[in-house]
Homo-oligomer: A and B are copies of this chain.
Amino acid sequence: MKIINWQESGADTKNKILARGTWNDKKDVTSTVANIITRVRAEGDPALLYYTKTYDGVDLNSIVVNCKNIKTTIKEAIDYAYKRIRRFHELQIPQTINCNFGGVEAWKSWFPIDSVGLYVPGGTAPLVSTLLMLAIPAKMAGCNNIVCVTPPDRNGTINPAILYAAQLCDIEQVYSIGGAQAIAALAYGTQTVPKVDKIFGPGNKYVTEAKLQVSKDPFGAALDMPAGPSEVLVIATENVNPQLIAADLLAQAEHDEDAVVICITTSNQLATKINTAVKEQLKSLKRKDIINKSLEHSYIIIAKDLYEAFEISNTYAPEHLILNIEDAENYIKLIRNAGSVFLGQWSAEALGDYASGPSHVLPTYGYAKNYGGLGVENFMKAITFQKVSKEGLLELAPTVEVLANFEGLDAHQMSVSIRRLLLEGDV
């Protein structure tokens, strides 16, 4: 990894690091995805089978997957993760708020989004953890219709661990489709796949672009959050174990060649030790080639003090923020932007990826400035209610009539005055 001193770096270097890589280069992705969506909308299932053959290299007869009576060798691990994740999510159901005042009963209640789509990536590995992270909040929210899509492997099958997790979460609809075609199917429906209102889950550039395109169409489907490559930022002080930091950096780097890994420390010495540990640990890892590519655009930054470190971190707004600092809780007040925060040396980020409870579906690419990680509330929407009494109408009427008149909306004004006059007995 490159080690740089923040104080001694020019604006160009700083901006380059803060802006991440050049992942956003995707002109051909836009038109490829638009074509896929058009064809899936026009043809439905036959287009899904065609694209599955083209992109997944497998000739399916049907995309419907059975997920009843599934057995998997990793049942125990899935069961345990399920329990822990569920425990954190069941606390998240938003409460109704009530405000009764001056003749108005007003309240705000949360309702499930009726129909949701869950995208579980396949690719190099079947992401059973992602299925749990999407299905559990959908169930907690009470969504009526939960549709899961995931690409088939080269044999046309879905890994039983995925299907077991679906069964555990009581998801009845699983379809073996992936890529932009799966997003198009969820957004518009086909003969087989039901249309959904909102689509959740991470994916590659094509999936991400497809989610953006269908979300722009009022007759498509909303998306959970925009996505970029996964990333971690570690803030570390002098006296911590460089081996643990190196392991966390490598865990992040193995996700993807585009994954971004940043470590900020106040200690030159620690920086050197981390760099050595990274090189050493890397030797035994299977995904070495991916990691090497990812480390090319990753940095160890020397900050002048912890305040500067947190300022850099807040500007960066990392998906994962690890505070490998003694008494890390004392520094929470310096955090303004992050997806999920890991405190202290035992809080390995990988624990959060699988089983500690909070979601691993988190805002990347700086979106942590304005989005949080996935929560139960993202599978719901708030509806406000108001019931105005006669007294309330008479109380509010003078204000509303003045404001409506000021805004030049005399029909608004009349809709209130007609009621006021009725109550005043003048009509």
Contact = CB atoms under 8 A, between A and B. Distances in A.
B403 A355 contact: yes
B413 A350 contact: yes
Contacts of A226: 215-216, 218
Contact of A381 (B128, B212, B370): B370
Interface residues of A, number: 134
Contacts of A101: 84, 87, 357
B415 A218 contact: no
A91 B87 contact: no
A62 interface: no
A251 B338 contact: no
Interface stretch (A46-54, A172-180, A279-287, A302-310): A279-287
22 contacts: A74-B406, A78-B403, A84-B101, A84-B396, A88-B99, A88-B108, A101-B357, A106-B356, A108-B358, A111-B336, A215-B226, A218-B226, A247-B414, A251-B411, A251-B415, A254-B409, A281-B411, A348-B415, A350-B409, A353-B404, A356-B386, A357-B386
A157 to B, nearest CB: 16
B406 A161 contact: yes
A403 B129 contact: yes
Number of identical monomers bound together in the oligomeric complex = 2
A219 B19 contact: yes
Interface stretch (A6-14, A32-40, A148-156, A361-369): A361-369
Interface string A304-346: 0000000000000000000000001100100111111111111
A198 interface: yes
A340 B388 contact: no
Contacts of A356: 104, 106, 386, 388, 392, 396
A132 to B, nearest CB: 9
A76 to B, nearest CB: 8
A351 B384 contact: no
A390 interface: yes
Interface string A365-403: 111111111010100011111111110110010111011
A45 interface: no
Contacts of A194: none
Nearest to A393: B346
Contacts of A238: none
A352 interface: yes
Contacts of A81: 399, 403
Given A284-B414, A363-B381, 10 more contacts: A110-B372, A114-B337, A125-B407, A125-B409, A247-B411, A285-B410, A350-B413, A368-B381, A372-B384, A377-B377
Given A74-B402, A404-B350, A406-B128, A386 B415 contact: no
B355 A399 contact: yes
Contacts of A398: 77
Contacts of A382: 372-373, 375
B84 A343 contact: no
Contact of A354 (B228, B393, B403, B414): B403
